[in-house]
A and B are shown apart, each in its own frame.
Chain A
Amino acid sequence: MTSPLAKLLEAALFASARPITIEELAGLDADATGDDVAEAVAELREHYDTDGHGVELTEVGGGWQILTRPEYTEAIERAQLAARPHRLSAAALETLALIAYRQPIGRAEIEEIRGVVVGGVLKSLHDRGLIEVTGRAEGLGRPLLYGTTPVFLEQFALRHLEELPRADELAIALRSTAAAP
């Protein structure tokens, strides 16, 4: 039914608290090639999907992770076995959205676009591990530049940043079209 390699991967995925990359999974078995591992992951995923399981194998944050299916969230939370993380405020989401798309981006640019000061929001995003300082801009004061972290990918169920639609794919007209009066 399930190959020995898939079982090994399942055990590792079960034991880990964070997503495991294909490279890490391949490290579990010296004899397994990258293709073998990818095949075993697909096999395991298929197994969860077709045989009826309460969990599923999801690619998230650059790796694979076993997650519970959404239909059981309410019951699990009601029984206080696990709690969903708090939602981000609108202000925090806006700031995070800007950082995700414009990284590396400085505080001044975020404030210009959002029209509000974001010092407190930046701090709380940083405290939650969603953003990090990626460098300093040239110019006056060498302001800090921010970027998103792997935790951001994980919490937003993204495999990688490229999975976000490109800004010009969004339904809204671009800054360039807006510039023309």
Chain B
Amino acid sequence: MAVATATLSARLPGNRQEAHAAFVVELTQFSGPLDLLLSLIRDEQLDIRDIPIARIAEQFLARIATLALDDAAEYLEMAAHLLRIKARMLLPRNEDDESWEDPRAELVRRLLEYQQMREIVDLLDVRAESRRNRFARAFLPEQPAPPSAPLALSLGELLAAVDRIIRAVRTPTMHDVVPRALDIDGAIASVRATMAVRASASWTDLLDPAAEPWQVLSLLLALLELARRGEVRLAQPAPFATVEIARDIAASEAA
């Protein structure tokens, strides 16, 4: 690992500022070291199960040579891995050795697995694209009302507002309901005054033709009251005839 890293460092250019700009482009192009590796294999039309590891490692390093070290740990790890495989391939071996295992086997397995995943990606991509192009009924749940801001209000402002409102409100048209109390005592006095000088009188004599209803009622109640007290006697010769009022002599004398 140490050897591989040393080799790698030697290959990386010193100017990392320029390298960084290039790395951004690379990132959008490849989703990872396996992706880059697979793309190299595809470009060279190589058999994935029999990769010329030295050549691929060389090209891989060339491609990541422009990458900034800090951001490209995953690519560097792969580069180191490739170099390690390359070194192991160089080790002398006996052709008949049954126990020999191709140092590339693990990488090949990973590449195939990754390639399979890429196929799934393509499939999902097609699916997603087909769904993206169809709109469903949009449903926007009602946004909860934002919490109301605390009131910033002085007493002066409040009073000013009240004042404005009071001014704005027009004076309501109101009916003045004036209680017109019946003046029974007044009517009694009036009847007594009349009956003091006359022995009898009729309803119409006692009532002013222009009398208001309260006066009519007051007179009626006054007459009934006086009749109860026995000061006058009331008589109505016929239904709807004018009421005749006569002084009750006995009562007034007794009084």
With A91-B32, A94-B117, A175-B109: A154-B131 Cβ-Cβ less than 8 Å: yes
One of A27-35, A39-47, A69-77, A138-146 at the interface:
A69-77
Q: What is the minimal beta-carbon distance from B101 to any residue of chain A, in angstroms? A: 7
The answer for the CA separation of A178 and B104 in the assembled complex, in Å, is 11
Residues of A that sit less than 8 Å from B by CB: 14-18, 58, 60, 65-70, 73, 76, 82, 84-85, 87-91, 93-94, 96-98, 100-101, 112-117, 154-158, 164-165, 167, 170-175, 178-179, 181
**Apart from A18-B139, A116-B32, what 11 extra A-B contacts exist at CB < 8 Å?**
A58-B134, A70-B133, A73-B134, A94-B118, A114-B114, A155-B131, A157-B130, A170-B119, A172-B119, A178-B113, A179-B109
| CB neighbours of A93 from chain B (8 A) | 121, 124-125, 128
The answer for the CA separation of A158 and B123 in the assembled complex, in Å, is 11
CB < 8 Å: which of B31, B34, B119, B136 contacts A171?
A: B119
| CB neighbours of A16 from chain B (8 A) | 137, 139
Q: Would you give the 0/1 interface string for B123-157, flagging 1 where the beta carbon is closer than 8 Å to chain A?
A: 11101111111111111000000000000000000
Q: Which of A73, A90, A117 has the most CB of B within 10 A?
A: A90
Q: Which residue of A lies closest to B118 (CB)?
A: A94
The answer for the CA separation of A60 and B110 in the assembled complex, in Å, is 33
Q: What is the minimal beta-carbon distance from A114 to any residue of chain B, in angstroms? A: 6
| CB neighbours of A88 from chain B (8 A) | 128
| CB neighbours of A172 from chain B (8 A) | 112, 115-116, 119
With A101-B120, A172-B116, A173-B112: A115-B78 Cβ-Cβ less than 8 Å: yes
Q: Is the CB of B128 within 8 A of A100?
A: no
The answer for the CA separation of A100 and B134 in the assembled complex, in Å, is 22
Q: What is the minimal beta-carbon distance from A32 to any residue of chain B, in angstroms? A: 23
Q: Would you give the 0/1 interface string for B65-89, flagging 1 where the beta carbon is closer than 8 Å to chain A?
A: 0000000001000100000000000
With A178-B112, A179-B109: A69-B119 Cβ-Cβ less than 8 Å: no
Q: Is the CB of B34 within 8 A of A73?
A: no
The answer for the CA separation of A98 and B33 in the assembled complex, in Å, is 17
Q: Is the CB of A178 within 8 A of B119?
A: no
Between-chain CB contacts (< 8 Å), 21 pairs? A65-B136, A70-B130, A73-B135, A76-B135, A84-B135, A87-B128, A87-B132, A93-B128, A94-B118, A100-B124, A113-B110, A113-B114, A114-B114, A114-B117, A115-B114, A116-B33, A157-B131, A164-B123, A170-B120, A175-B109, A181-B101
Q: Which residue of B lies closest to A17 (CB)?
A: B139
CB of B16 within 8 A of chain A?
A: no
With A73-B133, A115-B78: A97-B120 Cβ-Cβ less than 8 Å: yes
CB < 8 Å: which of A17, A65, A89, A97 contacts B138?
A: A17
Q: Is the CB of A117 within 8 A of B74?
A: yes
Q: Which residue of A lies closest to B119 (CB)?
A: A170
| CB neighbours of A67 from chain B (8 A) | 134-136
CB of B42 within 8 A of chain A?
A: no
The answer for the CA separation of A93 and B78 in the assembled complex, in Å, is 21
CB < 8 Å: which of A84, A97, A167 contacts B133?
A: A84
| CB neighbours of B112 from chain A (8 A) | 172-175, 178
| CB neighbours of A167 from chain B (8 A) | 116, 120
CB < 8 Å: which of B35, B105, B121, B130 contacts A181?
A: B105
Q: Is the CB of B121 within 8 A of A90?
A: yes
The answer for the CA separation of A82 and B135 in the assembled complex, in Å, is 7
| CB neighbours of B131 from chain A (8 A) | 60, 154-157
The answer for the CA separation of A170 and B123 in the assembled complex, in Å, is 10
Q: Which residue of B lies closest to A168 (CB)?
A: B116
Q: What is the minimal beta-carbon distance from B158 to any residue of chain A, in angstroms? A: 45
| CB neighbours of B136 from chain A (8 A) | 17-18, 65-67
Q: Would you give the 0/1 interface string for B29-60, flagging 1 where the beta carbon is closer than 8 Å to chain A?
A: 00111110000000000000100000000000
CB of B102 within 8 A of chain A?
A: yes
CB of B207 within 8 A of chain A?
A: no
| CB neighbours of B74 from chain A (8 A) | 115-117
Nearest first, the 7 A-B pairs at minimum CB distance are A17-B139, A67-B134, A157-B131, A97-B120, A116-B32, A70-B133, A178-B112
